[in-house]
Amino acid sequence: MSGVHKELTGKEEFEAALATKDRYVFIYAYEGEISPKAAENAKKYAATTDAYSVDVSKYPKAKASFKVEVTPTAIVFKNGEELKRVEGTKENPEKMKEIDDLLSS
């Protein structure tokens, strides 16, 4: 990946992202615009992480599929398994630090 979020737009793309092996997969579910901090983190972790985003206002099936109740939500997967989720990323900097620590390891 190029260090920026790749926008997910369909079921096949979601499945392909989750099928990634031996790398972290970071999904940023948002409405409207991607926060500058999220874009910055996509670049920061590009060596170990594939970063994806989905505007759940445009793709409500993704919102249901990922069980997103609050936006933005950050979800980290590895080998298809969910490792960490933070709902309301702006309101939970301490939880986002846990994702930072995970992706830095």
- Quote the pLDDT of residue 1: 41
Residue 2 has what pLDDT? Answer: 45
Spans of all domains in the chain = 6-104
Whether pLDDT at 3 is above 70 = no
Averaged over 78-84, what is the pLDDT?
Answer: 96
Q: What is the average per-residue pLDDT within 24-40?
A: 90
Q: Is the peptide bond before 72 cis (omega within 30 degrees of 0)?
A: yes
Residue 77 has pLDDT above 80, yes or no: yes
87 within 8 A of 98, measured Cβ to Cβ: no
Question: What CATH number does domain 6-104 carry, 3.40.30.10, 3.40.50.300, 3.10.20.740, 3.40.50.170?
Answer: 3.40.30.10
The residue written with tokens 């920026």 in the block is 4
- What's the CA gap between 37 and 66, in Å, rounded? 21
Tell me the pTM. Answer: 0.91
Rounded mean pLDDT, 41-63: 92
Report the 10 Å Cβ neighbour count for 1.
17
